Structure 1
Amino acid sequence: MVLLSSQKPVQLRWLKNPSGDAGITWGIPWKKGEINRETVLSLSSADGLRQYPIDSWPTAYWPDGSVKWSAHAAVVPASESGGFVLDKGESPVPASRVSVEESAERITVSTGSIRWVIAKQGTRIVERMERDRREICSGGVLVALTEVHDQVSGMHTTREEPFEGVVLQAAVEAAGPVRAVLRVQGRYRAKSGLREWLPFTLRLYFFAGQASIRLVHTFYYDGNPNTDFIKGLGIAFEVPLSGPHYNRHIRFAGEEGMFRDSPKSMYNRRTKGRYLELYEDQLEGKPLSFDEEDDAYYLGLLKDSATWDSFKLLQDSSEHFTVRKRTKEGCSWVKGAEGRRAGGLGYAGGASGGIAVGLKDFWRKYPSGLEITGMAAETARFTAWFWSPDAEAMDMRHYDTETHVLSSYEGADELRATPYGVGNTHELTVWCLDATPDSKTLGQMAEAADMPELLVCTPEYYHETRAFGLWSLPDRSSPEKAYLEDRLDGIIAFYQQETEQRKWFGFWDYGDFMHSYDAARHVWNYDLGGCAWQNAELVPNMWLWTMFLRSGRADIFRMAEAMTRHTSEVDMYHIGEYAGLGSRHNVVHWGCGCKEPRIAMAGLHRYYYYLTADERIGDCMELVKDADYATVTLDPLRAYFPKDEHPTHIRVGPDWAAFSSNWMTRWERFEDTFYRDKILTGIDCVKKAKYGLISGPVYGYDPKTGLLSSMGVENWGRHLSICMGGPQVWFELAEMLEDPEWNEMMAEYGVYYNAPQEEKDLLSHGEISHKNFEHPVLSVAIAAYGAYYRQDTVTAERCWTILHGNPFGSVNLQEQSEDVVYMDSIKEIDWMNTNEASQWSLNTILSLELISEWLPSSVNKN
């Protein structure tokens, strides 16, 4: 493949400078026609002195067949802090390339000195790990515990039942010289019975020359929330141990330092002089040796001292962890340390090495844990707990037995508050080590596991290629623009502070924001029906990702990443009758009776996929390609339209807009013209409606044909059509379709939305009521597009008036915050709501791109 001679090399930089050499995967956008699928690309240091081997593959295509997005994998040193360049040219071959061998029973992957054997059947998913032909891990299994409740004769008893993950399918997804990816699928099976449940997917990532692997574990809940309580969920590794107990080591990362211990501590009341020096060496993991005669007395003291066999760390909230240890079963656990936020990394090993395991977002997705048992035996067991069994069992029940539509803004009279089909994903890194690392190295490993390395392009490059459609770069060239940039940054700062202040963390909650605020209680409406968790309402994902693209800020990337992981797993259904749909905002993430395609749409998640090439998000986007069929059994408008000649009823937005995002993603990823044609069919139907997009938003719909049948022009408000991501999807889609009539129809709708009634009547002959065009701030994206497309000064001025008149456009949030007392002293803004925070930000960013030339010279700074 040939790179066009006019193409400039792509400049890359670290999202955040790594602490060690890193195996990384990242994505790059391309303009239409710039490169094709045969292009050969190379990666070099910014100064051009060093080249690095890379794997490259397309992840999306333009309609002309050229590459829209590409993905790349490389192993690069942390010392390369000056950035990188991607350019045309041959890539060197890695010195230690990844090799993959597959048989009927197992898959063997070698990265050089490290060799992993993965089973294709049974419960021992990892059969063994070797370093320089020495076994470091003798097995790895997925583990779960359920808590069974019994109520007999007034006595309440509980018992725990253990489960292990059983492999049903294993496959090689990628096998390049730099990177290999394995995908393992299965279910958890009871160790003492036949029951199987909790489907899971486990991906394993290997990089050339690296002593670590990355694992991504996803499970789906498929139980009865009233009876099936998960008590523990994690992955356990068997670690062969050699050498005397004093040369065996465990480590747990704290918030800053390291908990260091051994089954046989060198410390006792006689630890002085030389033995104190040896004790300090032991704490650094250095191997110790003794003379049987000269050290006989001290060895006798060691023999007499307690042998600590088991250690565990529990992060029971975002604000607290404990470390405990025990000599043997039947004895008490002794507290060894206590702190706030653990680093999420542990190590277990003996004289010949061991393994370190680091869990991403360890304290953010509590209750998590690390547990090491058997340190006094020949084999230790190291369990990384996604949900620690030392915490209360997972409770998936709804918060009530009825719904509260009128009083609490819940969306449907049917309850439908089921967790059946929701998921959760965890990421961890496992290192295969030949010796105990020092504390500094372990700290670097904890950081790498918690914040995996990534290469990114400059904001200017993302903007130049129109990655993800229309948005603006930050511009402080005038006081008016600087004022709006300050407002945008202030909203981000507020939500960062609020996430920390309100502790929006936890296994099922992390990544989400809350919906609206109760100033009387000084608290977000955590308990008020549809006013609690946001669940992607008014597309905050798109807001955060757009803010990252335009700024390149790592802290915003992590906010967007967390929200993407949450909304693509917890807020959407992956199996069951609602697969491909998501739950509207609610007290419990899956609690609302409205199961809608917009919550699960690919448009929310494709940012993360294309920037990181994350296969898990790819699964989620593939799942929703046929989500429109789910609306036949669960009509989104069932409360308003009885069964008629149409299989179902949808709105052009957010429903059809969500479908079009799913279909656009399927089309660009796989060049699947079937889904392109469904988009074209829908657009053609809207064109035939009496007033195009201005016509009523409700249509009869047939997913088999993709045909939309207009239900008339007077069927309620239009704002939902254009505040749930529709404009963002349609603007990018327009660049792919190149259909002037579709562009004109969007522009017409944007100009019409906020026009005076007399102007509306000229077009619609008084058939459409002005009252159906509510919440002007939600319309600014489509209105700004209309102003830009038609060069309509009046419409542009209306947009700026709306944005400046909104509280987010007129208030400095940091100056507006008031000190109040809730449980503790906090800062609050009593009118806050996430709907408008998201939409005002998105619409201001787009307006700065399209209509900044009409930005008024004076703004409301009161």
Structure 2
Amino acid sequence: MSTNVKLSWLDQKPGVNRGVTWGIPWEKGHLKKTDSLTLMDSMDTEIPLQSWPTAYWPDGSVKWTAHAVSLMDDSLAESYQVKKGEAATLEHPLIVTESNQFIEINTGDLTYIVNRSGEQIISQVHDGEQLVCEGGYLKGIKESSADTDGVVITKQEAFYSDINSVIVEQSGPVRAVVKVTGRHKVVTDQRKWLPFTLRLYFYKGQYTMKAVHTFIYDGNPHQDFIKGIGIDFQIPMEGPLYNRYLRFAGDDGFFHESPKGMLTWRTKGRYETLYQDQMEGKPIQFLDDDQPFVNLLDDAATWGNYKLVQHSADSYAISKQTKNGCSWVHAVSGNRANGVTYVGSESGGMAIGVRHFWKKHPSSFEVKDLAKRTSTLSTWFWSPEVPSMDMRHYDTDTHVKSSYEGAEEFRSTPYGVGNTNEITVGFYSSTPDQKELQSFVLEKESPALLVCEPAYYHRTSALGVWSVKDESTPTKAKLEQALDEVVQFYMNEVEQRGWYGFWHYGDVMHSYDPIRHVWKYDLGGCAWQNTELAPNYWLWYMFLRSGRDDIFRFAEAMTRHTSEVDVYHIGEYTGLGSRHNVVHWGCGCKEARIGAAGLHKIYYYLTADERIGDIMDEVVNADYTTEHLPPMRAYYPKDHFPTHVRSGPDWAAFCSNWLTRWERYEDTSFRDKMLTGIDSLKNMPYRLLTGPVFGYEPRTGELMFFGHENHGHHLIMSMGGAQVWMELAEVLEDPEWLDMLAEFGAFYNLPTEEKAKQTGGAIPGDKPWGTSMLSSTLVAFAAAYKRDPQLAKEAWQYLLEDDTHWQIKSPLKINRTNDYVKPISEVKNISTNTASQWSLNVIVCLELIGQYLEPAMQENTTLANKY
């Protein structure tokens, strides 16, 4: 295999300079740790490249690399390639200088000063000698209420960032990353709460800085309400008020204003031209004979404050105010603001863009003091213009029997969940025109990313078992059409159903109610999906096999949401997540499977996103949490075992975490812990067929025999276990582990009498092990391993012929109805469990037993022995 890797843009080539970071997988043994890599454009011109490893194969060769490049106009090409060789060097690299008080990042024209302590995170930004930013800090508003004799008293308190540590994670020459952590400090009582992480990204020669902001909720949801949370930047203002500028990105164009607009009742002739120049951001100069008009401007109102509030996914409003204490004047309303604001004066200014601005409503921008020496640009991730966040549960009781909620225990708590937001900050020496600001909008919303060809991703075997898109036969073409149809249906549903909002964007719902024509948003265990049955794997494999940018963005949003909101980052449930519920953190079942590293690592490897890296580190010891919260506590009381876990999804999720840790850091302690569990299973009476519940020792990873047929079996592979275990098979190259997986796949759907016969009556069972469609991946694995055409036929039968509710029939029966608040299209029998698992199983079966799909090919077909 050649080490020359072709790269292209995820969607389209950027229109202007860009800093880009991306990841590349490598086949086992093809890239050594000592090998250097270089980047070439389509004209074979070398471009300075910064590279680092992000994962390793067991033999020590590099499995994944990450790369950063700063592309200027003359180096923007349609395609590139990475190959072995010394990277081109920068004559003037990005420079990071550290001291006890601050860190200085010099990208060329721009110099950033990041404080190591205090409230202010960014103290200054200079463009050459010009000061363009006087400070940046996190802020928010805490709201609490008390009921005294029936009178509710509400209290609001401001809080600001308080730095705990600042670490330089990368220091160039192309890219630098600074990680700032701390808590927010409440002004009135100095209480510290809401732990935060703010990562700042810098690229050589670029005029933008990216920031990724995460906060963790650690309050009491019945008392501590977040009224607003965001980030402030202070911008020095110079020159006359009529040469100061404000821009808000609206639905398509921009809202242009100045604190001292040129419009008076006598703005005519030459002054109309000057007025137009002002709206275009051109500095205005008056002549001596313009004094009468200047006097009129002196008399005109000065608009010092502005705000844009995105109240919902479909409504925003812009208003302005002359000064504090006066009324706000409504300017314009719209639907979906594009989430960019620019503030500047004669000496230049600053733009800030919030990714998914309207999708993660309620959000807002507020600009204060445009007429003063320093203006403040506030970016609110949660706008204080709307009611406070309500983190309480939707009820005071659980509803297990009626609503499929997971446990009688009331464990609905947001304590420990997180939310991450991305912003881009741009600095300008003069007011940018509309075209330049529109490019800024596009870049902050869909950051440029270089990707490999699907066939290359597949060839490396670096991400488990999946198939590339293949329409070479009529049946395969129909399956590909069905796969595309299902994923397109869900992307359409996000818009049709309005699956947007600060705590919701990125998730989809679980089950559909055709009577009300809605998803079961209010039925306990059937509302938000929360990674149930591994939709993350489905979407990422759909991207890898197709290269489609829309699927990438869909999967990216799900990854960002499910890794933060559905998982606990601090507190007693650290490393665990919440099963599907009306409220994302509502279900009493707190389990490791919800936040397993494998659900997120594909995004990490493709983008090198450090926040996802943090989260995958957080879950590595999730198995210890099962000692005080056993996943099987509702079935088995505490006994002589430290805890009880199932081989899947519990131990499978642990393996996902450990495998990721091992390959990222070459941490053999977690490899050994995983191997201990595998050895335990090898020594069970019937290996992987045993159980599936075992005694478990978190300190060693040992699984201990606990009996046969002691719980259901379908969760073993349907929560991502099949994907994790097949990836282990690729990595470990352990013949007995391969044989165990194949044995499980071949055994799963046998009649109970045959199960009893093969195990001497130890596993008789009183019912089938579970939904056959869910097992088709491991049945296909067994077919490929054993070269068994009959098993292959059975696997396809479960997917294509089995007429149960666990089935997707293409084309989808889409019904158009007006019997709702608005006309909608619906699929009455849809469920995300079925959609994700059916699609995922088809993708794997096309890889393992695709050659046995066409009827004409079934005769005299010998399955290739992949293993």
TM-score normalised by length of structure 1: 0.97
**CA deviation after TM superposition for structure 1 residue 808, in Å:** 7.9
Change in 2 beyond 3 A, CA 1:858/1:770:
farther
CA–CA separation in structure 2 for the residues paired with 1:470 and 1:9: 23
CA–CA separation in structure 2 for the residues paired with 1:67 and 1:591: 41
2:710 equivalent in structure 1: 715
1:36 equivalent in structure 2: 32
- Selected match of 1:746 from 729, 741, 745: 741
2:497 equivalent in structure 1: 502
SS in 2 for 1:358: strand
SS in 1 for 2:239: coil
- Selected match of 2:296 from 295, 301, 310: 301
CA offsets per residue over residues 547-581 of structure 1, 9 Å max, x none?
00001011000111000101110000000010111
1:90 and 2:91 aligned: no
- Selected match of 2:622 from 613, 627, 640: 627
1:821 partner amino acid: D
CA–CA separation in structure 1 for the residues paired with 2:766 and 2:855: 30
Change in 2 beyond 3 A, CA 1:808/1:407:
closer
SS in 1 for 2:164: strand
- Selected match of 1:817 from 815, 818, 827: 815
CA offsets per residue over residues 176-220 of structure 1, 9 Å max, x none?
200000000100001222211000011000000011110001000
SS in 1 for 2:603: helix
CA offsets per residue over residues 121-146 of structure 1, 9 Å max, x none?
00011101110121101011100101
**CA deviation after TM superposition for structure 1 residue 770, in Å:** 5.9
2:864 equivalent in structure 1: none
- Selected match of 1:841 from 804, 825, 839: 839
2:862 equivalent in structure 1: none
- Selected match of 1:761 from 751, 756, 779: 756
- Selected match of 1:112 from 108, 119, 136: 108
SS in 2 for 1:571: coil
How many aligned residue pairs are there?
A: 852
1:795 partner amino acid: L
- Selected match of 2:308 from 305, 313, 334: 313
1:696 and 2:694 aligned: no
Higher mean alpha-carbon deviation, 687-696 vs 167-176, is at 687-696
- Selected match of 1:800 from 796, 802, 820: 796
1:577 equivalent in structure 2: 572
2:860 equivalent in structure 1: none
2:359 equivalent in structure 1: 364
The aligned runs of 1:157-236 (5 Å cut-off) are: 157-236=153-232
SS in 2 for 1:377: coil
2:26 partner amino acid: W
**CA deviation after TM superposition for structure 1 residue 817, in Å:** 3.2
SS in 2 for 1:380: strand
CA offsets per residue over residues 599-624 of structure 1, 9 Å max, x none?
11101110111110111000000011
2:602 equivalent in structure 1: 607
- The gaps in structure 2 that reach 5 residues or longer are 858-867
**CA deviation after TM superposition for structure 1 residue 474, in Å:** 0.8
- Selected match of 2:545 from 537, 547, 550: 550
1:238 partner amino acid: Q
CA–CA separation in structure 2 for the residues paired with 1:636 and 1:348: 53
1:120 partner amino acid: R
1:393 and 2:403 aligned: no
1:539 equivalent in structure 2: 534
- Does structure 2 conserve the Cα–Cα contact (< 8 Å) formed by 1:487 and 1:808? no
1:253 and 2:249 aligned: yes
- Does structure 2 conserve the Cα–Cα contact (< 8 Å) formed by 1:61 and 1:669? yes
- Does structure 2 conserve the Cα–Cα contact (< 8 Å) formed by 1:97 and 1:178? yes
SS in 1 for 2:521: coil
- Does structure 2 conserve the Cα–Cα contact (< 8 Å) formed by 1:754 and 1:798? no
SS in 2 for 1:336: strand
**CA deviation after TM superposition for structure 1 residue 704, in Å:** 0.8
- Does structure 2 conserve the Cα–Cα contact (< 8 Å) formed by 1:480 and 1:856? yes
**CA deviation after TM superposition for structure 1 residue 819, in Å:** 2.6
- Selected match of 1:522 from 492, 517, 520: 517
Change in 2 beyond 3 A, CA 1:182/1:810:
closer
CA–CA separation in structure 2 for the residues paired with 1:83 and 1:687: 48
1:3 equivalent in structure 2: none
2:473 partner amino acid: S
User: Which runs of structure 1 show a deviation greater than 6 angstroms over 4 or more consecutive aligned residues?
Assistant: none
- Does structure 2 conserve the Cα–Cα contact (< 8 Å) formed by 1:364 and 1:505? yes
CA–CA separation in structure 1 for the residues paired with 2:373 and 2:438: 27
1:627 partner amino acid: A
CA–CA separation in structure 2 for the residues paired with 1:855 and 1:673: 41
- Selected match of 2:672 from 668, 673, 677: 677
- Does structure 2 conserve the Cα–Cα contact (< 8 Å) formed by 1:699 and 1:708? yes
- Does structure 1 conserve the Cα–Cα contact (< 8 Å) formed by 2:243 and 2:345? yes
- Does structure 2 conserve the Cα–Cα contact (< 8 Å) formed by 1:571 and 1:582? yes
The aligned runs of 1:227-376 (5 Å cut-off) are: 227-291=223-287, 293-376=288-371
CA–CA separation in structure 1 for the residues paired with 2:550 and 2:468: 17
- Selected match of 2:9 from 14, 17, 28: 14
- Selected match of 1:652 from 647, 658, 662: 647
2:863 equivalent in structure 1: none
The share of aligned pairs that are identical, in percent, is: 53
CA offsets per residue over residues 475-506 of structure 1, 9 Å max, x none?
11111000000100000110011110000000
**CA deviation after TM superposition for structure 1 residue 735, in Å:** 1.6
SS in 2 for 1:173: strand
1:10 partner amino acid: V
CA–CA separation in structure 2 for the residues paired with 1:403 and 1:275: 68
- Selected match of 1:850 from 840, 848, 855: 848
**CA deviation after TM superposition for structure 1 residue 62, in Å:** 0.5
**CA deviation after TM superposition for structure 1 residue 852, in Å:** 1.0
**CA deviation after TM superposition for structure 1 residue 78, in Å:** 6.0
CA–CA separation in structure 1 for the residues paired with 2:686 and 2:558: 37
The aligned runs of 1:332-481 (5 Å cut-off) are: 332-481=327-476
CA–CA separation in structure 1 for the residues paired with 2:445 and 2:2: 36
CA offsets per residue over residues 355-388 of structure 1, 9 Å max, x none?
1000111111110111110001110000111101
Change in 2 beyond 3 A, CA 1:808/1:776:
closer
- Does structure 2 conserve the Cα–Cα contact (< 8 Å) formed by 1:408 and 1:531? yes
Higher mean alpha-carbon deviation, 327-336 vs 198-207, is at 327-336
TM-score normalised by length of structure 2: 0.97
Higher mean alpha-carbon deviation, 243-252 vs 747-756, is at 747-756
CA–CA separation in structure 1 for the residues paired with 2:173 and 2:580: 45
CA–CA separation in structure 2 for the residues paired with 1:536 and 1:775: 19
**CA deviation after TM superposition for structure 1 residue 279, in Å:** 1.1
- Does structure 1 conserve the Cα–Cα contact (< 8 Å) formed by 2:142 and 2:227? yes
CA offsets per residue over residues 825-845 of structure 1, 9 Å max, x none?
101111110001000000000
SS in 2 for 1:557: helix
- Does structure 2 conserve the Cα–Cα contact (< 8 Å) formed by 1:143 and 1:235? yes
CA–CA separation in structure 1 for the residues paired with 2:269 and 2:812: 57
CA–CA separation in structure 2 for the residues paired with 1:211 and 1:95: 18
CA–CA separation in structure 1 for the residues paired with 2:663 and 2:293: 70
RMSD of Structure 2 on Structure 1 (CA): 1.4
- Does structure 2 conserve the Cα–Cα contact (< 8 Å) formed by 1:370 and 1:382? yes
Change in 2 beyond 3 A, CA 1:818/1:762:
farther
**CA deviation after TM superposition for structure 1 residue 467, in Å:** 2.8
- Selected match of 1:831 from 818, 829, 832: 829
**CA deviation after TM superposition for structure 1 residue 152, in Å:** 3.2
2:450 partner amino acid: L
**CA deviation after TM superposition for structure 1 residue 158, in Å:** 2.1
CA–CA separation in structure 2 for the residues paired with 1:814 and 1:842: 17
- Does structure 1 conserve the Cα–Cα contact (< 8 Å) formed by 2:93 and 2:173? yes
- Does structure 2 conserve the Cα–Cα contact (< 8 Å) formed by 1:480 and 1:857? no
CA offsets per residue over residues 659-718 of structure 1, 9 Å max, x none?
001000111111111000011110011111111111221100000111101211121221
Change in 2 beyond 3 A, CA 1:532/1:131:
same
SS in 1 for 2:422: strand
